[in-house]
Structures are given as C-alpha cells and as structure tokens.
Amino acid sequence: MVKGIEKYGIPVVHMATVVPISLTIGANRIIPGVGIPYPLGDPTQGEVDSKKIRRRMVKRALKALQTPVAEQTVFEKDDF
Amino acid sequence: MKLELGKIKIDDIQFSEKTYVENHVLYVNKEEVEKLVLEDDKLVSCKLDIAKPGESTRITPVKDVIEPRVKVSGGEIFPGVTGKVSPAVGEGRTHALEGCCVVTVGRIVGFQEGVIDMSGVAADYCPFSKTVNLCVVIEPQEGLETHVYERAGRLAGLKVAAYLGETARNLEPDVLEVYETKPLFEQAAMYPDLPKVGYIHMLQSQGLLHDTYYYGVDAKQIVPTFMYPTEIMDGAIISGNCVAPCDKVTTFHHLHNPVIEDCYKHHGKDINFMGVILTNENVFLADKERHSDMVAKLAEYMGLDGVLITEEGYGNPDTDLMMNCKKVERKGVKVVLITDEFPGKDGKSQSLADVCEEATALASCGQGNMTLQFPVMKKIIGTMDYIEDQIGGWAGCVNPDGSFEAEIQIIIASTIANGYNCLAARGY
Amino acid sequence: MAKYRIVHYVNQFFAGIGGEEKADHKPEIREGILGPGVAIKANLSDDFEIVATAICGDNYYGENLDEATDTLIEMIKKYKPDVFVAGPAFNAGRYGVACGTIAKAVEERLQIPVITAAYAENPGVDMFRKDLIIVKTGDSAASMKKVVKSLCPLIEKLAKHEEVLGPEIEGYHERGIRVNYFADERGSERAIKMLVKKLKGEEFETDLPMPKFDRVAPAKPVENMKKAKIAVVTSGGIVPTGNPDHIESSNATKYGAYSIEGMQKLSPDDFTTIHGGYDRQFVMENPNLVVPLDVLRELEKEGEFGELYNTFFATTGTGTATGSAAKFGDAIGKTLIDDHVDAVILVST
C-alpha cells in the first residue's frame, strides 16, 4: 500500500511495529510503532500517558514527512 | 533423557457405561466426561459426539485437538497446566491412544477457529479427517470475557484427554518406541562424525488467543531456552492459541511434533540430533530482536552445525522466522526453514511477509489461499454460524444448502508450518 | 470440424521487411503464414491453421505503445482467432517487450489464450512472466527447432483448454504462481534431507526461492506543513462497527473509506477492528491507537499542519496478498491525488 500511494509522489510515513517488514516492503519513511496490539500509544500506562505517547509519535510523523530522505529511513528519535 | 513411548492403536470410539479400551476400541462414559467438563462453572453445557473418518460430518468451530496420553512411570501429562510439574517429564514411560483425538468445539472466541470435514475434498487437507474424534462441544456462560472463555475451553480439552489417557495406563502397547537424547557433551561425542543438528521451535505468542504454554508458562513471557525433545512428547507444550486455522499447531501437533519425530529417524544415521531451542513470536520489536539474538547465541553455544526452524502463524511472525534465520546463519550454522505460504488467491503475490537473503533453503507446507468448494455435510458438530467470519471465509461464501467456498486456511492444520503434512507449493 | 485459428505476431525483421532501418514500420496484418510461422505450423497437428500474421516495427511499437496496441487488436480481432502466438523474440529486447505487451492485451481484450516465447534474459520475460506463458528459447533464432517442440504442444493445449503442467515439464519460464501439490514426503522429512545436503555442501533445491521486492523512490517531503492536507490510511482493520463493507479479517480483497468529518476522536461505539492477526482488545476499547484521530485533531487545531483529510482508508494487513495491497495503494493514491492530499500517515499494526 505504501508504495502504491508513494508512486503518485505523495510522501507516506509508515508507522509500523514490525520495522523489518516495513523495510522489506519498501517504505521510505518509517516510524516504529509501540506494539502490534497498540501501535500508537501504550494503554498499559494509562489513558493520559498513552495519548501523550501517541501525540509525540504523530508529531514525529509530521516531522518525517517534512524531511528529505534519499533512502529508507527509520525515524527513531523525537528531535524536534 | 530417555522416553519409552507406548502406542495403543485405537480404531473406533463408542459410548458405554464405563470408560475403557478393549480390542482397539475406546469406550467412553458420556456422563463422566460431561461432569468433568462442567466442573468448570464458566461452562454451562457440554455435549459429546463422535466423528469418524469417511462420515458425512463437519466439525466447526474447532479450538484444539489433543491425543490422550498418560505417564505410566510417575509424573503427569500436561505438566504445569492440568498435571503437576515433576522431573519425570520427558523420561520414563508414557502411553498414548493413537488414532483417536479429543476435539474441543464451541462458539467462536475469535475468527481463528476452523473446520474439520470427515470426508469429501477438504478431508485430504486435514490430519484429523483420518482420526476417530471425540468432540467435546462446550457452551460458555453468557457474557463471559474472551480470555476466560478461551481458558475454560483450553482446559476442558486437556482434562478430557488426560481422563481418557488413564485408560491406557495398564495396557500393553502395540508399539513401543524409544527416544533418547543425552546431555550435550555426551550426545556430541556419541556420533562425532555426524553433523550436529538442532531444532529451533518458534511458539506462537501474539497475545489474546494467540498463546502457547510451556510448562504452564505463557510463551510470550519466556526468553529462549533449550530443552530435551522428549519433554514435548509428554505435553510440556500445549496450544492455547487461535492462530489462523490452517496454521494451528494443536496440542496434538506438539505431542507429535513432526520435526522431532523425523530428526529422531535420522538420528545416528546422517545427523546427530542435539535438541530443541525454544523461542517465541512476540508482538514487540524489542522482543523479536532480543530473542533472535539469543536463539543465535544458543545455537552457537550448543555447537550446532545445522538447524531446522519452524514458525506458527504468518504475517509478523515471518519476521521472527527471518531474523532467526539470518542471525543463526551468520554464526556459521546452516539453516533450513519450514513454513507455509500466502501468495493470494491467484498465487501470484509474495508468499511471505518478510524475507532475507540467507533463507536459501525452505521446505514449503503449501499455500493457504487456494480455494475449495466444501460440500454439504449430513451432520454438523458445533455450528456453521461463523463460517463467513472465520479466517478463510468471506461474506456470502456460504450457500443456502450449507455448502460453501473458502480458502483452505479455514481447515484446521491444512498448511501447518511445521511440516506435518505432505502438502507443498511449487512455482508454475 | 472447423480448424483452430491462430493469429501470429512478428516484428519487421522476422516478417522479412528489414532490420533496424525498418524498425519504425507501422502495424499491418497479412493473411497467412510468414517467417517463423512456417516452422510453427509444421509442428502443429492438421486441425490448426495460422490464418494471419500481424506485424509491427519494434521501435514503432515502443514509441507508440497504446496506439500500436489498439490498432493491432482491431486488426487481429477481424480474423477471429482461437489462440494468439507472439514471437519467439529470442534475445531481442524491444521485440520481447512488444510480444509481451500485445499478447497480454489480446488476452485481456479478446479473451482468448495467448502465448509467446523468449530467452531468459530478454527484459520482456521479467516484465510479463507473471501474466503470460513465455516459452523458453535460446538467445538466437538458431534455437527455433527446439523452441517449437515446447511451443507447439502448448499452443494446442491452450486452444483446447487442456491443463498446462509445471514450467519444468512444459518448458516455459516460471510465472511465479504458487500452486499446491501433495509431495511424496511430509515437509519435516523433506527439510531434514535438504539440511543434510546443505551441510555436506551438496546442491539442493529450495521450495521457495527468495523473492526480490521492488522499490519506489522516496517522494519529496512536504514543504509547507502549515498548509498541508494530511490523510490517514491503515492496515489495522479499523472499520465502522458492523463492518459494513464486509472486509475480510485475513487476506482482504477490499478496503473501505470512512468519514471522520466532525469527529474529534474515534469512538469505540462507532468503530472496531476486524483484523484477524492480533489481540484486538486494546484497539476495540480505543480505536485511536491505530487511527490517531484524537491527536490529529488537536494538532490540526494548533496549526501544526493545514487540515486533516476527512476520510480514512482501512483494510486488514494479515495475510493480505501483496498484489491486493498494491492495488489498494494505487486506488487510494489516485483518490488522494485528485483530492490534493499532500502527505499520508499509514499505520500498520
């Protein structure tokens, strides 16, 4: 799906837990998800913190979408 | 560690006043079994039925399949779950009723419970179309939480299998097989000229309804370890998961792990079978990284020359499979993978969700997306209500007469990724 | 009984028109047999006849792909063929691509069986192997004698709709279609034998050669996020409660498009997940864990980005064929381009 969309020239940030699969299928901007049952957030830490985690991740996704990449890149840090 | 496995062949099951085995027939006291199951107040009803090969019978939704076994030399079967944990697991003597199975059936917990047809075209794809099955049809309390229901269903089957296994305690086995694996150094010294081969056994551990138990420990909480192969034959590993039906490593398949059985066949001839490395398939990347590192370390530590790796399930576990493959190969240990494929209905898409260049040797267990026409069956054990929701089915796939079309993924253990079946896929 | 009618396609060179200097030859069709058609006809039984030969220059075809295809199809259609044969192209690259293109178009538009032939390294083979039966050839026309031995029986089988066996037996390039069969030994035993060979350094044959996934160049980043329109896509199976589009929980054949207009977050009362591959409990309680609508709305309000596209797209990723996923991506991409979406957040579980 990532490639199908990106080939139209629209940048896609893939937020996925299993980064190796994301790399294999050819996503170019990747943000590691927290876990398969809850990729964006961590409900085991309570709703409030879970949402904070999600917010940080989505902000990182927006940042990744504004970052030029030459090859497949995993954005692991919140450097904004 | 040495295990004598005595097999008593069972050709038929019949209901009777008493539970016993005579002349290869298992007689079952219905009331006793039902009472045993209903000891668990989470279950409100339990009905027994018998399904035999060749009958026009469909069993669905199937949760687990278990072969009745008993420890006759001390210790208990299914240690840590229904039995006590004791040092006797994997050694001494065990008796098994071969050719019959306990099949737990009931309203679905998830989408992952499948179909067993006792005759017709789908029977060719299912190992349990060839066994005589005692079906335990359970009904949970209204509104029971899914984890609780899953546990109740899982324990019901194991309890019935252990109960039936008791009938074999004092029987003279038709066949007595002896399996032995020695402590590492001794085993390595026993066949110094043969390549040392291990088995990396990946347990499904993806969370709710996707769990396997190792001595009663939830497999998602284990770190990779190693074990004697015979421990598995005594029920050290049981299935608690509801992975796609075709991929389900039922408790039967743990007891009859085909890689272990076949490695013993080759043991001392062209390989020196050293033992099993046990690992899991967790849902967090950190676990996948850590555990594949550990698996590679253990393979190196055990001095292995080659390994076979099996997985349970597909999708993200393909990543664990490939990480294990890559890291073990990089330790200089030769790898052969065993797995099944999901290339889409037309067979043209990629078979695996993840790949690596080190995966040069792979034995295919067939592809699960191929479709079949499932004929009408005279008798349904369980219910057809969920066929369209079960994995492999789709909205509108069931015809008014009860026949249906579905992918073979809906058949229990049809493409099981441990090599139990002869089904394979090749390129056209 | 009427004979099976074949239309054959060749390039300008095999039609005897000329070499490179005639490569801009326009499409034409001639009644009867031409060039390599003679050898093909000679190896077919009497109930087959080559009724016409279509011709096009390789460069002309390459430079006028759509138009040449349309023209040729119209010409071929008139002869009412039962089966269509293109080539063999041997190692001629442009010719191989032309054979593949026209054969695929004939199959799709005229709904008749088609076949072509080419050398393994001909670029046409990799482009069309999944779609077509491409008989193996040597790298030059010198191999024609051998080629017809595989090509002609296949033409007959295709015309009569008989079963085509595996690539090794029939002599065509493997299409990469995975077909089930019952092996003589179970998987575990075959794997051990493979391992023994691998350990000895002997040759062994894997059941599944590792595929190579293709790549797409990274798209340019969003220049002005403050004005950007962002869309959300997920393979995590988030759908309205009741799954109105009946998306499968595994090996999905479709995706859904769902409005989030006016919503500040995804409510567990309105949305659920039907993904068959993970513990759904957490997401069923809070679907924002997959489609992060709650924080996207906050960030939208705060002006972190321009606006949120008011529809999200969803399917299930478990066991979903890469072919289906590519198709979904293409369809979604097209919609998003039309609606001027600047960037996509795609969440997988």
Q: Break chain B into its structural domains and give their ranges.
A: 2-410
Return the number of other C-beta atoms located less than 10 Å from residue C123's C-beta: 14
Residues C146, C243, single domain; the answer is no
Residues A16-53: tens digit of each pLDDT: 988 988 988 889 999 999 988 899 999 999 999 999 99
Mutate: best of B243, B316, B357, partner A, most A CBs <10 A: B316
- The answer on pLDDT for C111 being more than 90 is yes
pLDDT bucket at C214, cuts 50 / 70 / 90? confident
Task: Please give the residue of chain B at the shortest CA–CA distance from C203.
Answer: B361
Q: What SS3 class is residue B228?
A: coil
For B350-399, the pLDDT digits (tens) are: 899 999 989 999 999 999 999 999 999 999 999 999 999 889 999 999 99
CB burial of C25-40 (b: ≥16 within 10 Å; e: otherwise) equals bebbbeeebbbbbebb
Neighbours of C69 (CB within 10 A): 20
Which of C222, C275, C290, C295 to mutate to probe the A interface, most A CBs <10 Å? C295
Q: Do C276 and B271 touch (CB under 8 A)?
A: no
Between chains, do C288 and A55 touch, taking CB under 8 Å as contact? no
Cβ atoms C300, C309 nearer than 8 A: no
Residue type, C26: K
* Bridge partners of residue A14, in order along the sequence: A30, C346
Q: Which stretches in chain B have pLDDT values below 70? A: 208-209
Taken in order B122, B123, B125, B128, the sign of the CA dihedral is positive
Task: State phi, psi for C47 to the nearest 5 degrees.
Answer: -85, 15
Instruction: State which of C106, C136, C170 marks the end of a domain.
Output: C170
Q: Which of B46, B126, B135, B242 is catalytic?
A: B242
- Of C152, C170, C188, the last residue of a domain is C170
pLDDT grade for A77, boundaries at 50, 70 and 90? confident
Question: Which run of H or E residues covers position C6?
Answer: strand C4-11
Amino acid residing at C191: A
Q: How far is A24 from chain B (nearest CA, A)?
A: 6
* Domain extent at residue C242: 225-347
In chain A, which among 20-39 make CB contacts under 8 A with chain B?
Answer: 20-21, 24, 32, 34-37
Spell out which residues of chain B touch residue C182, defining contact as CB-CB under 8 Å. Answer: 124, 422-424
User: Which parts of A1-80 are beta strand (E)?
Assistant: 12-16, 29-32, 73-74
Cβ under 8 Å to C: A residues 4-33: 4-18, 21-22, 24-29, 33
Bridge-based pairing state of the strands C229-234 and C343-348: parallel
Supply the pTM of this predicted model: 0.85
Q: Select from A21, A24, A35 the Cβ nearest to the Cβ of B284.
A: A35
Which of these, B277, B329, B326, B333, lies nearest to B304 by C-alpha position?
Answer: B333
Q: Is C205 inside any structural domain? A: no
User: Which chain A residues are closer than 8 Å to B314 by Cβ?
Assistant: none
Helix (H) or strand (E) holding B165: helix B146-165
- C208 to B362: CB separation less than 8 angstroms, yes or no: yes
Is C144 within the bounds of a domain?
yes
Q: Which residues pair with A73 in a beta bridge?
A: A29
Cβ–Cβ < 8 Å for B392, B408: yes
Contacts of A2 in chain C (CB under 8 A): 216, 329, 346
- Statement to judge: residues C10 and C126 lie in one domain: yes
Shortest distance between the Cα of A67 and any Cα of chain C, in A, equals: 6
Please give the mean pLDDT across all residues of chain A.
Answer: 92
Biggest CA–CA distance in chain B, Å, is 64
CB–CB contact C216 A69 (8 Å):
no
Domain boundaries along the sequence of chain A: 2-69
Q: Which residue of C has its CA nearest to A35?
A: C349
Residue C246: inside a domain, yes or no?
A: yes
CA distance A42 to chain C (A): 8
Q: Which residue is closest to C200 within chain B, CA to CA?
A: B195
- Give me the total of CB pairs closer than 8 Å, taking one residue from chain A and one from chain B: 36
Rounded to an integer, what distance in angstroms lies between the CA atom of residue C234 and that of residue C316?
A: 8
Query: What is the Cα–Cα distance from C58 to C144, expressed in whole angstroms?
Result: 20
Q: Are both C143 and C264 inside the same structural domain?
A: no
Q: Is the interface score ipTM higher than 0.90?
A: yes
In the block, which residue shows the tokens 């305690």?
Answer: B169
Note the pLDDT of residue A80. 58
Average pLDDT over residues C46-61: 96
> Phi and psi (nearest 5°) for C152?
-70, -45
Whether residue B167 contacts residue B243, with contact meaning beta carbons closer than 8 Å, is answered with no
Would the CB atoms of B395 and C281 count as touching at under 8 Å? Answer: no
State which of C148, C170, C192 marks the end of a domain. Answer: C170
H/E element holding B114?
strand B114-117
Residues C166 and C268 in one domain: no
Q: Is A74 on the interface with C (CB under 8 A)?
A: no
* C192 in a structural domain: no
* pLDDT for residue A79 is more than 90: no
The pLDDT tens digits for C69-84 are 999 999 999 999 999 9
Kindly state whether residues C242 and C343 are assigned to the same domain.
yes
Mutate to test the interface with B, among C129, C178, C196, C278 (most CBs of B within 10 A): C178
Has B242 been annotated as catalytic? yes
| Tokens encoding C37 | 């058609």
In a domain, C202, yes or no: no
**Which residues in chain C have their CB less than 8 angstroms from residue B336's CB?**
191-192, 194-195, 198
Asked whether the beta carbons of residue C208 and residue B341 sit closer than 8 angstroms, the reply is yes
Among A8, A37, A71, the residue with its CB nearest the CB of C278 is A37
Mutate to test the interface with C, among A2, A3, A5, A71 (most CBs of C within 10 A): A5
Average pLDDT, chain C: 94
Calpha distance B410→B199 (Å, rounded): 28
Residues of C in contact with A9 (CB under 8 A): 219-220, 337
Residue at C176 is within a domain? no
Query: Would the CB atoms of A1 and C285 count as touching at under 8 Å?
Result: no
What domain count does chain C have? 2
What does each C-alpha distance from B323 to A25, B285, B317, B354 come to in angstroms? 16, 11, 10, 9
